[in-house]
Chains A and B, each alone.
Chain A
Amino acid sequence: MADIISQYGTTFLIMAALFGFFMAWGVGANDVANAMGTSVGAKAVTIKQAIFIAMIFEFAGAYLAGGEVTSTIRSGIIDIEKAGFTDSPELLVYGMLSSLLAAGTWLLIASHNGWPVSTTHSIIGAIVGFAVVGISVDAVVWSKVWAIVASWVVSPLCSGIIAFFIFRSVQKLVLDTEDPFTNAKKYVPFYIFLVGFMIAMVTLVKGLRHVGLDFSFAQSLLMAVGVGILAMLVGIFLLRRIKEVPADNESFHFGSVEKVFGVLMIFTACSMAFAHGSNDVANAIGPLAAVNGVVQSGGVFAEQSGLPLWILLLGGGGIVAGLAMWGYKVIATIGRNITELTPSRGFAAELAAATTVVVASGTGIPVSTTHTLVGAVLGVGLARGIGALNLNVVGRIFLSWVVTLPVGAGISIVFFFIFKAIFS
């Protein structure tokens, strides 16, 4: 049946590119806002700066560390041989197209109604759905799926625990001391080092193989330390401009201290965008990469071909477009609403979430950045750091998990059979 591919190949590719761009647009319009909103809410960066940071680091994250998750979505969830795709590769094309369309549709409905639905969960549900009903239960690599589903619970938990301890360390080293301002200036560069080191380490160890670079662990470690020190130097330079202003401390004694943490939050905002790019861009371009692989090879499955640059550019471009057209509004809304989150807390939450997500990206596990961040904020809350947190949201997130998987699957199945009827 490879003739279907040769007959409609270009059509499939154009459709996949369109749907992929649409998905990426959705990620940029909604999802990025959750990653960047914390920094805007804490007044560490302005909305314009947030968009600027997001554009650069989302793209860098996708390009440098996004390969593993992309390959999971593209070929890790479905067993190509058991699914019989070697005989009828067009089924994979239909499936990936319907997954993109289904996830996009569901996200549109969900965000219209304000449900906390994750892009990641939608696309995974959609892929599993078409594979089970359209092909067979055996076509799905269930061990992988269960690992992914488990990670959705584990990742918020992990980032919550990390955030708790980061914030406790801030309390011990800075806030609960004789001279918080001096201590903030002393320890914040170290946290900045940690941000740079963590991002660089995961990227070097796990990510760069896709770009064609492969370093030994020792080389990676050395370079990551270098990146950390570089970030720290930039941080120290920025910190020199922060002076203790008595007027800031009049009604609230920690006014100047929070300004110091504001500098740190610029760095964690970058790491957050990087982490988000490394994990969530894959949701849009993974299926596109799968379709592209089939079409380019004329229906023959090549083993793990590299990710073409144009696909990455399309994903990055879609995110930037979504961000510029709609996302900035959502960032503004979030920024206005979370004024309670001061930089000393916001950075702890962002660093914890970014670390968790980047590690997940390195291991090729698609997680929800937003849910991971929610877990991190709750971790800071557990350390008695936040005025009031709405636990209803946690319930709504759980509900969205339960609903998204079957609904994403259902819509995807419908599209799958529609495509099959049209083209075969």
Chain B
Amino acid sequence: MPPTLSALFGRSPIRPIQEHMAIAHHCVELLGEFLEASFVKDWDAALAVQQEIRNQENTADDLKSNVRTNLPKSLFLPVSRTDLLELLHTQDKLANRAKDVAGLMLGRRMEIPESLVQEVRDYFNESLLASNQALKVINELDELLETGFRGREVDLVEGLINELDELEHQTDVSQVKLRAKLYDLEESLPPVHVMFLYKVIDQIGDLADISESVGARLLLLIAR
């Protein structure tokens, strides 16, 4: 049994949540490498990257359950415990979705049609920007704790979250364009392949959506 005073301090969930978000974002970054490998049909390289994404996603899962087990109800936190767990859950979905895209594309050896490669690349990079912005928002959590979740720091974070919403909106616009372009190509491609192309486009867009909800969750956390 530790002395009274050290027993009083629980393990703060803030830093682990930030670490978790960094890993989730790293999974998205790795997906970029995976896409590049798939564009040039280097499936060996793609497999290696997909394995790495899987490993990272596992690490994120471990971190998540670690935070959960260290957040008993008796802990007194500066923010709502439920909101905190929801935030963590949302972050985790980001890593999962990156893994899904890589798994799906690798399993079917999916080739993106030559004429779409640049659009898909740009579209993915927009999602990556959103994910990066979500990481930036989560990195402000320790500053929020320092200021007691009040005042200027809250305004700053709200500003970052507004930018995040903008970035997500941008991916929506690009998605519409990309789908239209794919629609024009539909006739020349095998139908099953087209179906899954739509799915991949959807899921890359999900990355931005999930990033946006990470911001929304954080906003809920600080809006009291």
Contact = CB atoms under 8 A, between A and B. Distances in A.
A385 interface: yes
Nearest to A384: B78
B150 A176 contact: yes
Interface string A371-406: 001100110010111111111110011000000000
Given A381-B78, A388-B13, A38 B5 contact: yes
B7 A116 contact: yes
In this complex, the interface size class of chain B, counting residues with CB under 8 Å from chain A, is 20 to 34
Contact of A385 (B4, B13, B78): B78
A273 to B, nearest CB: 15
Nearest to A258: B146
B3 interface: yes
Given A176-B153, A389-B75, A390-B75, A383 B4 contact: no
Interface string A154-192: 000000000000010001000111100000000000000
B2 interface: yes
Contacts of B147: 171, 175-176
A390 B2 contact: no
Interface in B1-27: 1-14
Given A176-B150, A252-B143, A37 B7 contact: no
A388 B148 contact: no
Contacts of A253: 143, 146
Which of B4, B10, B11, B145 counts the most chain A CB atoms within 10 A?
B4
A387 B76 CA distance: 8
Given A171-B150, A338-B5, A390 B143 contact: no
Contact of A386 (B2, B4, B78): B78
Contacts of B12: 340, 386-388
Nearest to A167: B148
B116 to A, nearest CB: 39
B151 A114 contact: no
Contacts of B115: none
B81 to A, nearest CB: 10
A143 interface: no
B148 A385 contact: yes
A275 B167 CA distance: 56
B9 A340 contact: yes
Contacts of A336: 6
Contacts of B2: 114, 333-334, 337
B108 interface: no
Contact of A384 (B5, B8, B13, B149): B149
Which of A37, A253, A344 counts the most chain B CB atoms within 10 A?
A253
B86 interface: no
Contacts of B142: 252
B5 A373 contact: yes
Given A254-B146, A388-B76, A171 B151 contact: yes
A119 interface: no
Interface string A318-347: 000000000000100110111011101000
A342 B146 contact: yes
A424 interface: no
Given A390-B9, A390-B75, A392-B74, A30 B146 contact: no
B79 interface: yes
A34 B7 CA distance: 11
A33 B3 contact: yes
A37 B4 CA distance: 11
Contacts of B153: 176
Contacts of A115: 1
A38 B77 CA distance: 19
Given A333-B2, A374-B8, 16 more contacts: A33-B3, A114-B3, A116-B7, A171-B147, A176-B152, A252-B143, A336-B6, A338-B8, A340-B11, A374-B4, A384-B148, A388-B9, A388-B71, A389-B8, A391-B76, A392-B7
Interface of A: 30, 33-34, 37-38, 41, 113-116, 167, 171, 175-178, 251-254, 330, 333-334, 336-338, 340-342, 344, 370, 373-374, 377-378, 381, 383-393, 396-397
20 contacts: A34-B4, A37-B3, A37-B5, A114-B2, A116-B4, A176-B150, A252-B146, A253-B146, A334-B6, A337-B2, A338-B9, A340-B12, A374-B4, A381-B78, A384-B79, A386-B9, A388-B10, A388-B11, A393-B4, A393-B8
Interface of B: 1-14, 71, 74-79, 139, 142-143, 145-153
